[in-house]
């Protein structure tokens, strides 16, 4: 399934630079984008998302997830702290709800967290109830598909490591 956005509703921007949009929305979404931005842009990018909406649907690749041009893979706690610095709390109700849904790509199932401002929580009690207590961060989870992918990437090296094992031990014993 592909999403088609009318040209009039789409604005091209360089995310390495601050986002300049002079209006707010009910929801901002950034899914599997932040890991492509340099680490020094992370706090500013989160600030931009918070300026756009009181609720942000967010996901970013975790360390070791792999992918093209991933320059800032971080655990959810890293992003959670950046959102918390802007007064946003994490809600981790989505990952458990979609964890086993094979129709959704595993990286979304692994990384998707909702962040809500204090104002949004005050206006929506159900949202507030779904948010983690202040100071608590989303758990670092690794989806089985991510783990299997990491094993496949490491497989070619296992044989070499096994062959080196006895030789390396003998060499170490001689020292």
The mean predicted confidence, pLDDT, of the chain is 88
Tokens coding 146: 């991510």
- Could you tell me the sign of the dihedral formed by the alpha carbons of 106, 148, 146, 152, in that order? negative
Domains and CATH numbers, the chain: 13-142 (3.40.50.150)
171 burial level (CB within 10 Å; 0-12, 13-18, 19+): exposed
Per-residue pLDDT of the chain (175 residues; tens, 9 = 90+): 566 788 888 888 899 999 999 999 999 999 999 999 999 999 999 999 999 999 999 999 999 898 899 999 999 999 999 999 999 999 999 999 999 999 999 899 999 999 999 999 999 999 988 988 888 888 887 787 877 887 887 776 666 656 666 665 566 556 5
The pLDDT value recorded for residue 151 is 81
pTM of the model: 0.82
In angstroms, the CA 113 to CA 175 distance is 51
* Residue-level pLDDT at 159: 61
């Amino acid at each position: 399934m592909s999403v088609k956005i009318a040209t009039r509703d789409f604005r091209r921007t360089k995310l390495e630079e601050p986002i300049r949009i002079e209006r707010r929305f009910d929801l901002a979404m950034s899914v599997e984008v932040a890991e492509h931005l340099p680490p020094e842009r992370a706090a500013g990018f989160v600030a931009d998302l918070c300026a756009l909406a009181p609720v942000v649907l967010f996901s970013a690749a975790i360390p070791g997830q792999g992918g093209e041009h991933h320059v800032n893979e971080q655990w959810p706690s890293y992003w959670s702290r950046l959102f918390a610095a802007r007064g946003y709390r994490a809600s981790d109700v989505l990952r458990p709800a979609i964890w086993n849904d094979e129709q959704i790509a595993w990286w979304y199932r692994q990384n998707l967290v909702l962040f809500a401002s204090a104002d949004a929580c005050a206006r929506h009690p159900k949202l507030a109830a779904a948010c983690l207590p202040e100071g608590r961060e989303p758990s670092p989870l690794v989806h089985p598909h991510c783990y299997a992918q990491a094993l496949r990437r490491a497989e070619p090296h296992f044989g070499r490591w096994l062959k080196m094992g006895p030789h390396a031990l003998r060499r170490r014993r001689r020292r």
